[in-house]
Structure 1
Amino acid sequence: MTRDTSLFSGRPSELIGRQVAGYRIEREIGRGGMAVVYRARDLRLDRTVALKLLAPELARNDTFRRRFSHESRAAAAIDHPHIVPVFEAGETDGILYIAMRYVEGSDLRHLLDRQGPLPPATALRIAAQVASALDAAHEHGLVHRDVKPGNILVARGPDSDHPEHAYLTDFGLTKKSLSLTGVTSVGQFVGTLDYVAPEQISGKPVDARCDVYGFACVLYECLAGRPPFCRDDDMALLWAHQYDEPPPLTEARPDLAPSVDAVFATALAKNPENRHDSCLAFVADLRSAMAGGDREHAPTEVDLEAVDRPKEPTKDVPKADVPKAPPRWAEPVFGW
């Protein structure tokens, strides 16, 4: 199996102009410890895509390859307007890859670095979209485990009432894959320290409430301009996530209602059982607190749903009228 070390050699220009699995690479748009993302041209359909190439050593791990195949299919099965669609996934020349929709815009990390804390209305608009995406993934049995500003893309919205359109990305490779296959070293976990849940640090089983915690850290930073815990070294930061109480958000944003602090205290609870049951429930409580506790005019979880769920057929509704899954020819392509 060929190992293309140029992917992670620090010389991304070596791949510019090359073809990988039917895609011509145009430029690098993102990089992490285990993957590089490029803007590329789909030569078969003449469209621009985001092509994620995983580190070569991952393809040599048979357990990882199996999980990657399974989880890529699971991610592609989620049809949601705020999750970046997966077009194709597979392996070529010893490299695992995922082709996704290319989103013209920036990520939330760059937005926060450029603008600082967001106005509450902007933060809530983005939060509602990301929350609906996370909850949709949880309904499909996927836990993201690495919710962070860099994994939230923000594009221009369709009109002045919806100025932003947020996308959640990095679902083709869930972090459980790495930890279960020994790709990470003993005692480590995959995730970003500013947004990692206490149960991830201690190695306990995680579920959707792990994403509630990470999502709350992201939204805290959107409003405060910094994550809830800031420490001088990584060990102190890990300790803070496990044992320290988050500072009240109103210390950084005195313009917000004091009831906002209680909402974040719940979402950032050390015990997952004490957190909100869903990301949408957290956003609904936060919006209500910002509105002064007027839940009558606060959006419910149903109001915040980005798309209606298909209804089950009843005896009065012909089956032909019920939304169907796309035909096989319209499904994403997977080659292994």
Structure 2
Amino acid sequence: MTGADDAGESDARRDELFWKIALKNSLVTREQVRECREIQRRIEDLGVSAKPIGDIMLEKGFVDREVHDRILAKIAALGASHRIEGYKLQEKLGQGSMGVVWRARQISLDRIVAVKILAPFLQKNERFVSRFLKEAKVLARLNHPHIVQCIDVGRSHGLYYFAMEYVDGPTVGSIVKRGGRMADERATRIILQVAMALDHAFEHSIIHRDIKPDNIMIASGGVVKLCDLGLVKDLDTGGDTTDTGTTLGTPNYISPEQARGDEFIDQRSDIYSLGATYYHMVTGVTPFQYENPAATLVAHLNEVPKTPRERVPELSAETSRIISKMLRKNPDDRYQRPSQVVADLEKHLARLTGEGDPLLLIRPRRRRRR
């Protein structure tokens, strides 16, 4: 079975559980379930993955946010007690397609950590177990102030989990959603720190493949942390948990080569996605505004977005230039390495702030890639 087949199987199972729970509890009608499943079928006919049926029900107003989240929590809890040896789970922080992240207390060291638990219905799916454990192993390899650190990985009471550094702060996505576009200097300071994280990952032959505002967290003191490495790829070994031809990433920030499902994806794809993220932060909108994910993918392949300065005239010309270079369609026309992005952003931020070293961050010793 391929990765795409596994993903489809797990999504279908989750959707089936969602509508059955909603129907059993008289939260929706059979007609509403049929309507939502028909919408999914039409989206799939366009060649892209359909939204989860719960999201469609939410958008149609068939269920509200509280009901939607309660059903997802019930699905995540099916067949498991969520007990992890050595940790006391305290509060659910978030939930994705692969599992749940909890705030927890590590009993042995009496400290707060984040614990990610693979969804119970995926615990016997070899493909997803492999992807889950790969994320933990990659985090353990990377030791950088701007990448969330892995603390522990294992299996407890039948559940695969890994514990990581707890970041007590918002995501860039939530900041932009709540407050609109960011000031030039603030956005540049954040993107510089993410570029440093990507440079460190590249030096260890790792690419992220899902850079977006929701995967960038702001810790206390304004320190940026890159998280969610569930789609990482090892450039040295070719290690991957997905298959050629599978479109991975988030449509609003995806690189053209990822949108095509190209077999060879390298660090320049992350640079494009970081550029799309930077664009969103300083303009308040994504490079392309299509409601249909398929149309967004096509736009990344064929359309040139308005420059950031065309959208926000008061934005600095250098910010607009850097973003535009990161968003070139041809990878050969972009920055070739994250270190080049770091160099330009450091000079730019120094001009914006008038400081010699605006970050005053300790840079880890670099390891040269052969």
With the length of structure 1 as denominator, give the TM-score of the two structures: 0.76
Partner of 1:146: 210
User: Gaps spanning 5+ residues in structure 1: where?
Assistant: 158-163, 313-336
Whole-Å separation in 1 of the counterparts to 2:323 and 2:144: 26
- 1:105 match: secondary structure: coil
Partner of 1:248: 307
Partner of 2:283: 224
- What pairs with 1:65-214 in structure 2 (closer than 5 Å)? 65-66=129-130, 68-157=132-221, 164-171=222-229, 173-175=230-232, 181=241, 188-204=246-262, 205-214=264-273
Tell me if structure 1 keeps the 8 A contact 2:209–2:269: yes
Partner of 1:267: 326
1:286–1:229 distance in 2 versus 1, CA, 3 Å: farther
1:57–1:208 distance in 2 versus 1, CA, 3 Å: farther
Q: Which amino acid aligns with 1:267?
A: M
1:21–1:126 distance in 2 versus 1, CA, 3 Å: same
Superposed displacement of residue 271, structure 1 = 1.5
1:59–1:129 distance in 2 versus 1, CA, 3 Å: same
Equivalent of 2:111, from 37, 40, 47?
A: 47
- 1:20 match: secondary structure: coil
- 2:218 match: secondary structure: strand
Q: Higher helix fraction: Structure 1 or Structure 2?
A: 2
Kindly indicate whether structure 1 or structure 2 has the higher relative contact order, using CA contacts under 8 Å at least 6 residues apart: 1
Tell me if structure 2 keeps the 8 A contact 1:132–1:306: no
Tell me if structure 1 keeps the 8 A contact 2:187–2:281: yes
Q: Which amino acid aligns with 2:223?
A: H
Whole-Å separation in 2 of the counterparts to 1:188 and 1:152: 24
Whole-Å separation in 2 of the counterparts to 1:215 and 1:41: 33
User: Gaps spanning 5+ residues in structure 2: where?
Assistant: 1-16, 19-68
Which shifted more, 238-247 or 107-116? 107-116
Moved over 4 A (4+): 5-9, 12-18, 179-182, 286-293, 296-300, 303-306
- What pairs with 1:271-310 in structure 2 (closer than 5 Å)? 271-286=330-345, 288=347, 306-309=362-365
- 2:249 match: secondary structure: coil
Whole-Å separation in 2 of the counterparts to 1:106 and 1:30: 12
Task: Confirm whether residue 11 of structure 1 aligns to residue 73 of structure 2.
Answer: yes
Give aligned-pair identity as a percent.
Answer: 35
Superposed displacement of residue 311, structure 1 = 8.8
Superposed displacement of residue 126, structure 1 = 1.0
1:31–1:127 distance in 2 versus 1, CA, 3 Å: same
1:20–1:29 distance in 2 versus 1, CA, 3 Å: same
Whole-Å separation in 1 of the counterparts to 2:204 and 2:194: 16
Q: Which amino acid aligns with 2:194?
A: V
Superposed displacement of residue 174, structure 1 = 2.7
Q: Higher strand fraction: Structure 1 or Structure 2?
A: 1
Q: 1:14-58: CA deviations, max 9, x gaps?
A: 699952232222111112122211111212222111111122344
Whole-Å separation in 2 of the counterparts to 1:215 and 1:277: 13
Whole-Å separation in 1 of the counterparts to 2:340 and 2:301: 23
Whole-Å separation in 2 of the counterparts to 1:227 and 1:277: 23
Tell me if structure 2 keeps the 8 A contact 1:147–1:195: yes
- 1:222 match: secondary structure: helix
Which shifted more, 91-100 or 222-231? 91-100
